[in-house]
Amino acid sequence: MNLDKSTKRISKRVKKGFQGYPQISLSYFGASANVATEVVVGFTSEEGMPVQEQTFSSKEDVRKDQTIQTTLLKVIELAGAKTVLEVEGVSIIK
């Protein structure tokens, strides 16, 4: 799957807002606000349950990495996530 398709499909899921559980959250991190070199995927199966996290990283911007974006989409689909949340912007790693 190409980068545009993956990012559009993820964006579409994010725009739906909260739809229930299971829930996936995407948080981007990097050395600057312009380049995200790491994405943390959080999975919550139901309310009150602990969050399971998986980290994906790249030397380049993970938001423009076709392999990582396709993997994120597959994780969302395989988890059966009803809700996909995305933290806006890039958090700075110190």
Per-residue confidence in pLDDT tens, the chain, 94 aa? 788 899 999 999 999 999 999 999 999 999 999 999 999 999 999 999 999 999 999 999 999 999 999 999 999 999 999 999 999 999 998 7
Helix (H, G, I), strand (E, B) or coil at 54: strand
Helix (H, G, I), strand (E, B) or coil at 15: helix
**Its pTM surpasses 0.85:** yes
Structure tokens at 15: 């725009």
Predicted local distance difference test score (pLDDT) of residue 2:
84
Count of domains observed in the chain: 1
Predicted local distance difference test score (pLDDT) of residue 27:
97
- Smallest CA-to-CA distance from 52 within 78, 83, 7, 22 is with 22
> Domain range holding 23?
3-92
Strand boundaries in the chain, DSSP class E: 23-30, 38-44, 52-57, 83-92
Q: How far is CA 51 from the centre of its chain?
A: 14
Q: What is the DSSP secondary structure assignment for residue 41, as one 8-state letter?
A: E
